[in-house]
Amino acid sequence: MEIDRLFEAMVKLNGSDLHLKVDKPPYMRVKGALQPLKYPPIGAEQMKKLCAPIMNPRQRGIFDTDGGADFAHTCVVDGVRWRFRINMLTQQGAWGLVARRVNNTIPDFEKLFLPPSIERLCQLDQGMVLLAGVTGSGKSTTIGSMLNYINRNYRKHILTLEDPIEFVFTEDKCLINQREIGNDVRNFEIGMKHAVREDPDIILVGELRDVETFKTAIHAAETGHLVFGTIHAASASSCIGRILDLFPQEEHASIRSAIAFNMKGIVAQKLLKSIKPGVSRVPVVEVMFIDVLIRKYVLEEQDHLIADHIKKSVKDGMQDFTQSLKSLIDLGLIDRHDALEIAPNREALVMALKGIS
């Protein structure tokens, strides 16, 4: 396919994302920065010729009906098969595409520079663990490394429901079944109904984007499974409110109770350009474990106290974004100026760097 030339360039330039827009040249994100390729602007008809062949009839039907479609595409570059997460879209009546390159290998925690305390979330027997962040914050890579940790260390059954499948796992000690919405099962609701009959120890439910998804995921956690999911939220402490926003006010009390007694931990992250040779970007990570006080705050609607408790619980393995930024600066992984630019509390980071807690 002609479009595979662009995916090949993406691999060779170590790009993370490819953007195609009518009347613009292709844009690629490399080391966090978006830049145009030396390629002529793509016309409307050329865009259709480029993108139509990568959609099967089902995906094309969804795209024509909804104005957008998500799916995976594979491309062989120098004998190596690469996967790309594709989002087809329309804007102002024209076709467009955004593709995310999925790494062939799933890095270990150490190579991702994640805090060691995250391992504790992989050693749980049941409950829910959420990865929070905006699009492109590395949630999928982190959750992939967590599942691979389980795969290397425990004999369990991992079941994933993904839309689309991103990382393809190589089984080690675990039995792993990866089901893609649309290809392997019609929709998420049916997939979860099947899941509880498929004897999983760990379930990856993908993104918690609606009421039904959250209810089925929390039910799986209540019935003895370890459930991993992702959510769009800016911080660990703001996740509670983000989940509650999915539900009508009259259900908030029961949802707070479900979160308090079934949620085990929330990891929120952002990606920041690295200054260390050989390292492109590193995650700035906030870690929250649901301990006795967090549970109390959730049940009593005192969410505003959560962030301060995270900051004070470093000895228990928690950390906020300020503490993560300081650690990455101390390790020589990120630039101080870049850290101050994205710090949620600039003054707190300046004081932390001076040794003032």
Say what the pTM is.
0.85
Residue range 315-353, pLDDT digits in tens = 999 999 999 999 999 999 999 999 999 999 999 999 999
What angle separates helix 188-195 from helix 211-222, to the nearest 10 degrees?
10
Whether residues 187 and 226 fall in one domain: yes
Residue range 72-102, pLDDT digits in tens = 999 999 999 999 999 999 999 999 999 999 8
Domain that holds residue 83: 4-101
Whether residues 128 and 276 fall in one domain: yes
* In the predicted structure, residue 357 carries a pLDDT above the cut 80: no
The whole-number pLDDT of residue 164 equals 85
Q: How far is residue 205 from each of residues 115, 135, 148, 154, 235, measured CA to CA in Å?
A: 23, 17, 16, 20, 20
Whether residues 237 and 135 fall in one domain: yes
Whether residues 201 and 334 fall in one domain: yes
Considering 76, 101, 126, which residue would you say is the last residue of a domain?
Answer: 101
Query: In the structure, what pLDDT confidence band is assigned to residue 132 with cuts at 50, 70 and 90?
Result: very high
CATH number at residue 65: 3.30.450.90
240-253 average pLDDT score: 95
- DSSP 8-state code for residue 43: P
**For a pLDDT cut of 90, what percent of the chain falls above it?**
81
CA separation for the pair 216, 205 (Å, rounded): 9
Rounded to the nearest integer, the mean pLDDT of the chain is 93
Considering 101, 122, 149, which residue would you say is the last residue of a domain?
Answer: 101
Write the single-letter amino acid at 140.
S
Domain count, the chain: 2
CATH number at residue 322: 3.40.50.300
